[in-house]
Every structure is written in C-alpha cells, then in structure tokens.
Chains A and B, each alone.
Chain A
C-alpha cells in the first residue's frame, strides 16, 4: 500500500500541465477530463501561486470536455473532437493543447487522433497525455514541456552557438517564476547570450517554436525540467546541463561562471559581469548592516520547501546573511538518485554552517523533526531557547510558526498569504528581495 502524504504541496500532473500552459503566451488548453478537474485545479494552484489567476483563456474559462459516464463507457474521442472544434471557434489562440485527466487515459481515449483531425487548422492543435496517476504537478510540467518540444518546437533548426533555453522553474508551483525567469534572463543576456525562457516577460510562442536553435539547455533544478531536457536532447540534439537555482550573490556568481563555461562564452565575460553586479548588489545590501548589528538580527532559521527553494534559501541564510540554518525539510517525493543530488547541494558553502537536512513530503514533518534540530534537553543554558528564529517555507508552515511564535516568510508553494506580481527571489535582485523581505518581517514582528 502507498503511504499517505499529510497536506501535499502540489496538485496532480494535469494541474502542473495546465499551469505550464497558462504561463505560455496566447495558448489555449483544452481539458479532456471529468467536470471539476479544471476548476478545482485552478482554485488550488492559483491561490497557492500567490493568486496567479487564470490568464489568457485560463482558469474559470478553461475549455473542458467535462466527460460523464456516457463518454467513459463509449469512449470520449468524439466529445473531444467537438470540444476542440468549439474552442477553436470561440477562443482566439495561437496554440491549442489538449491535456488529459486520469479517467480518459484509463479507458484509452486517443486524444492525439482527435487533435490530428485539426491538423489543417490555422493554429496548431496538440494533444499531450497528462494523467495524474503518472505524477504530481512538477511531473505535469515535464509532461507538458516534453509534449511541446516534441510537437510544437521546430524540427531541424540550424543551431546558434549563442542561444540557450532555461528550464526547471515550474510556473505556479514557483509562485515567483516570472520574476525569477526575467532576472535570470537579464543576467544571461549580459553574457552575450540569447535566452528562451518561454514563460518570462516579453516572450512569445516564437521563443518556444525556435527553441531548437539553442546549443544548450540549462536546467535550474535537480528534479524539474530534467525529463523535458532529455526529450529535447533526443529530438533536437541539444545537450543540457543541470545547475542549482541561484539566490543571492554567492550562488549567482557560481551560476554565471558555470553557465558561461557550459555555453562556451568564456569566464572573463562572467567575471566582469559578476564584478558589476556585485558592486550594485552590495551597495544595496550594506544598508542593512547597521540595523543588523544594532538590534542583533542574527537568527536561527528553519526552511521548508521544494528542491529548488529549500537548498538555495538555506545557503542564502547561511552564506549571505550569516544566520544559522538549523533544519531544512525538502518536501518533494524523490528517488534515491535525486535525493543524493539534492543532498550534495549542502556542501561547499562559504560559511561551513549547515542545517539538519530531512527529506519528507509531509507537512507535519517540520514539526516532527524540529526536536531533532533543537533538542530541548541538550543541557542548554535556557531550556526553551529557540529564539530568535525565523521560518522560511510555505503557508502550510503557519501552524508550526504560530506554535513557537516565530515569524514566517512564504516563498515555496503554497504561497496563499501573499499577492505575487513581478517579484523574484532568483539572482542578484532576488537575493536583495529575500534579504529585505526577511529583515522587514523581523522588524515588523518586534
């Protein structure tokens, strides 16, 4: 029997695919699933993504076949065809993508055949199987991207040495995906690269269509986007490189050096850029030095989040702010290889100060592991002295934070207590945001 996950921090594959498509410009998803799948996924994911909303052709307006018993018994392909036809007629989009739910996959509906009926339509119609029994929303991102790379990205494009694609930031599951992509693209462009992020500011479907011109895919995650990058390599012959998701000066410098090296643009360009950016970064960051010292803002920190945020936030706490990370809980369901990979991110930090690291998808895990990170009976001078401290996690850490009267900053899904617009936590600007958010939180908490 499978185990129960206590309050998981993701929805299903269909949800991940829908939010990936929601983030693509002028794209209309068509849901082939039971009534309710679309709307409940919209409700869950939008709120968790800092109220991302439905976007273009999305959310409460998502087109869906809403299959009922009749389609399950007799097959739903005709119903799907009808829905595609109606969607093309009513929704003005440059790309239509059929995504599927569990029940139609279980009965073996051939969504690709229904989509193929429209091969001569003005805008392409793709079908991507996204049954939720195949994985969570992160897996759905990989399914959707893989399907797009197979079915939409141009075949046989001539490679450009200066072009890279950026993968690994999952729209919605990363509430800050758009700000993050914008910041990372800004930096890579200064290395002289052309960058496709697909979901960032100012991108169009052409970025996705012509992504096969790239010579390199950068995957900024130890889990998300790797499968899609492998599909990309198989179909378009473009290699990929996995790098950690960078927050703040130290990590971003590592990132830029590694990216420059992988993209073959030379480390001199990276060094010059790092120099310029750090100049600017520390000019801002030093503003907190006085208040930091005056009111003793060094803190213990507990971090809970996905494989992108948890290690990078922990390192930022330790290396950049000089705080003491005590416990980090990584909340994805990972296999042994992925676990080892993520574990390896907790090494080589400048500070040499590492937290207790736990891998556990349960929300109650933070509560459970806390005594291990902070044994109350370890002959401490003060019996209950976990203070001053801060929790950096998701809205699900609220109960825990309240119980110990700790301030909580939400950065990882679900981020239901904030409105997220263009803010980012990636790169230099993201590091400044994280620092100012944390210090602001502590000051307003006093």
Chain B
C-alpha cells in the first residue's frame, strides 16, 4: 500500500487500434509484475475482449440499468495474468447520453474506492476518442488520469481526432487536468506515413512514444481472442508492446501539447497531400508507364 497509482487514458479515433494497443499494454505491464486494471470507456464495450479469450463481460451501465445500487466488485472481471477488466458500457445507440454514462461509471468506482482497495499500480482508461462531448473528457479532467496517450495513424481523420484531444487537454490543463504523455503511432509502417505523423508531433510539440506497425500477428491473435503479448509472446510485435510498456512504466512527466488551429490543421493536411501527389507523379517516369 501507499505506492502511487498511475492512471493513464488512451484516446484515439474509433477503429484506430486503441483497444488493441491498450490490451497489449495492460498484458505487458502485468507481466512486468504490476497490478493493472483496464477500464473500457466506449459504448462498444469490447475494450478488454482480447484479455479474456474474446468474451464479453456485463458492463457497469448494463448492471446499473437493472438495479439502482451497484457493488463495483460485480462488474470487475479478471483477465489474462490477473488483469482487472471493466467495461463502462453505454445506452443503446441513438438514445440517452453515453457521455453521462461514462461519468456515472467512473464516479461509481471512485466513490467505492476500488482502486485503493485493489492496491493497483495502473488504471488504464480506453476511451472513445473523438471527445464528442463533455462526458468523454471525464478521464482527462478533474485529474482522474494523470497521463494521456493517443493512438494515431498517419491518416488525416485520425490526426484530426488526436488534435481535438490535444485541444481538450490544453483546455483542462489549466485546472489540474491530465497532460499529454505522447502519441503511440499505430499501423505506421515506415515511408511517408512515419514522416507525416512525426511532422504532426513536431508541430504540436509532443513526441512519439512507440511505433507499432500493422501486423498480421495482431489479426491472428485477435481471432483467437488473445493479445499478441499472450498469444505470440515471441513475436516481433509482442516485443514492441513490451517496449511500449517499459517506456510507459518509466514515463514520469507529461506535457501540455500545442494543438493546431482548425485552418492550420487543414493547411497542414493539404500541404502533405500535395507533397505526396508530387512524389507519386515523380515516381512514375514515362518509360515505366504501362
């Protein structure tokens, strides 16, 4: 007891690989001997599936829907290597307020002092990343999480979501909110995509923590309901997640990012698309044309 609890939030555009990355990170941290809880904050409720052989668990909100009082222990499920798995859940699509749902779920855990009771080293929130409304910003405000990492590819939509997140962090940074640990570049396999994402991090005064390439091993393991760390521990991809976990374990100081303005971001994107177009055209010399 008494050791500091590190709370980390992972944000990013839908489908970009947050849950994949977070689950591998949780698995890797647990192998390093830490007590870890992964808290899925996405109405999709599939954040922790690969930690539990692909199975779904009852969510906080599903359980709350049925009865008004809730013991948090009822919605905590153990996964790979003892990782504590929680899914906040959400309302049916098109009704209610998913943002408020996340607030409710997170508040419930705080009130019941679960993190202290379980003597955790890490709580990792896996949050739907477009920060569409106030509820999705809960893990980064009020100092719930101290460090935020964003998963992003070099895809413009994904960078856009990351930049929005930076704006949220900047906003709450003045009132004790979380700061930015860095960007986890996912499905970035080199070439210009590496250049794009590193140019973006330079512009926004942040850094890339790890590059995780697109890998068939991820898909293979996912189909078996496993993280790469569990399902293919010897693979190159698993080593990348182990390295990511070590960096995050060693990470102490997060910073305030410098998000781009809306027009700045658009200009930045169109600048890159022109550059890429020139390269493509340049590559195809007349002689090579079929």
Q: Is A74 an interface residue (CB 8 A)?
A: yes
B97 to chain A: which residues have CB within 8 Å?
72-73, 75, 106-107
Taking a contact as CB atoms under 8 Å apart, the answer to whether A73 and B92 are in contact is no
Q: Is B68 an interface residue (CB 8 A)?
A: yes
Q: Is B157 an interface residue (CB 8 A)?
A: no
Q: A69-B104, A107-B100 are in contact. Are A75 and B95 (CB under 8 A)?
A: yes
Complex partner residue of A75 from B64, B96, B104, CB under 8 angstroms: B96
A77 to B100, CA, bound (A): 17
Q: Is A70 an interface residue (CB 8 A)?
A: yes
Nearest CB of B to A87, in Å: 22
Assign chain B's interface to a size class: 10 to 19
A244 to B61, CA, bound (A): 55
Taking a contact as CB atoms under 8 Å apart, the answer to whether B96 and A107 are in contact is yes
Q: Is B91 an interface residue (CB 8 A)?
A: yes
Taking a contact as CB atoms under 8 Å apart, the answer to whether B65 and A74 are in contact is yes
Interface residues of B in 83-132 (CB under 8 A from A): 91-92, 95-98, 100-101, 104
Name the residue among A69, A73, A74, A77 with the largest chain B CB count within 10 angstroms. A73
A107 to B104, CA, bound (A): 15
A77 to chain B: which residues have CB within 8 Å?
95
Taking a contact as CB atoms under 8 Å apart, the answer to whether B68 and A73 are in contact is no
A73 to chain B: which residues have CB within 8 Å?
61, 64, 91, 96-98, 100-101, 104
Q: Which residue of B lies closest to A78 (CB)?
A: B95
Taking a contact as CB atoms under 8 Å apart, the answer to whether B104 and A74 are in contact is no
Interface residues of A in 308-359 (CB under 8 A from B): none
A75 to B90, CA, bound (A): 11
- For B255-290 the 0/1 string (1 means CB < 8 A from A) is 000000000000000000000000000000000000
Number of interface residues of A (CB under 8 A): 13
Taking a contact as CB atoms under 8 Å apart, the answer to whether B100 and A72 are in contact is yes
B96 to chain A: which residues have CB within 8 Å?
71-76, 107
B64 to chain A: which residues have CB within 8 Å?
70, 73
Q: Which residue of A lies closest to B98 (CB)?
A: A73
A75 to chain B: which residues have CB within 8 Å?
91-92, 95-97
Cross-chain pair count, CB within 8 angstroms: 39
B101 to chain A: which residues have CB within 8 Å?
73-74
- For B134-175 the 0/1 string (1 means CB < 8 A from A) is 000000000000000000000000000000000000000000
Taking a contact as CB atoms under 8 Å apart, the answer to whether B100 and A70 are in contact is no
Nearest CB of B to A109, in Å: 8
Nearest CB of B to A399, in Å: 38
* Secondary structure type dominating chain A contacts: helix
Taking a contact as CB atoms under 8 Å apart, the answer to whether B65 and A70 are in contact is yes
A73 to B104, CA, bound (A): 8
A106 to chain B: which residues have CB within 8 Å?
97
Q: Which residue of B lies closest to A107 (CB)?
A: B97
Q: Which residue of A lies closest to B65 (CB)?
A: A74
A74 to chain B: which residues have CB within 8 Å?
61, 65, 91-92, 95-96, 101
Taking a contact as CB atoms under 8 Å apart, the answer to whether B100 and A69 are in contact is yes
A345 to B101, CA, bound (A): 52
Q: Which residue of B lies closest to A109 (CB)?
A: B95
Nearest CB of A to B43, in Å: 11
Interface residues of B in 27-77 (CB under 8 A from A): 61, 64-65, 68
A73 to B101, CA, bound (A): 5
Nearest CB of B to A171, in Å: 33
Q: Which residue of B lies closest to A76 (CB)?
A: B96
- For B193-225 the 0/1 string (1 means CB < 8 A from A) is 000000000000000000000000000000000
A107 to B90, CA, bound (A): 13
Nearest CB of A to B235, in Å: 40
Name the residue among A70, A71, A106, A109 with the largest chain B CB count within 10 angstroms. A70
B100 to chain A: which residues have CB within 8 Å?
69, 72-73, 107
Q: Which residue of B lies closest to A69 (CB)?
A: B104
A76 to chain B: which residues have CB within 8 Å?
96
Q: Which residue of A lies closest to B95 (CB)?
A: A75
Nearest CB of B to A102, in Å: 13
B61 to chain A: which residues have CB within 8 Å?
73-74
Interface residues of A in 61-102 (CB under 8 A from B): 69-77
Nearest CB of B to A14, in Å: 19
A108 to B95, CA, bound (A): 7
Q: Which residue of B lies closest to A77 (CB)?
A: B95
A107 to chain B: which residues have CB within 8 Å?
95-97, 100
Nearest CB of A to B96, in Å: 4
A70 to chain B: which residues have CB within 8 Å?
64-65, 68
Nearest CB of B to A66, in Å: 14
Nearest CB of B to A417, in Å: 42
A75 to B43, CA, bound (A): 14
Name the residue among B64, B97, B101 with the largest chain A CB count within 10 angstroms. B97
Q: Which residue of B lies closest to A73 (CB)?
A: B101
Nearest CB of A to B103, in Å: 9
Nearest CB of B to A380, in Å: 54
B92 to chain A: which residues have CB within 8 Å?
74-75
CB-based closest 7 A-B pairs: A75-B95, A75-B96, A107-B97, A74-B96, A73-B101, A74-B91, A73-B100
Give residues in A with beta carbon < 8 Å to B.
Answer: 69-77, 106-109
Known contacts A73-B64, A107-B100; 17 additional CB pairs below 8 A are A69-B104, A70-B64, A70-B65, A71-B96, A72-B96, A72-B97, A73-B91, A73-B101, A73-B104, A75-B92, A75-B95, A75-B96, A106-B97, A107-B96, A107-B97, A108-B95, A109-B95
Q: List 19 A-B contacts (CB under 8 A).
A: A69-B104, A70-B68, A71-B96, A72-B96, A73-B64, A73-B91, A73-B100, A73-B104, A74-B61, A74-B65, A74-B92, A74-B95, A74-B96, A75-B96, A76-B96, A106-B97, A107-B95, A107-B96, A108-B95
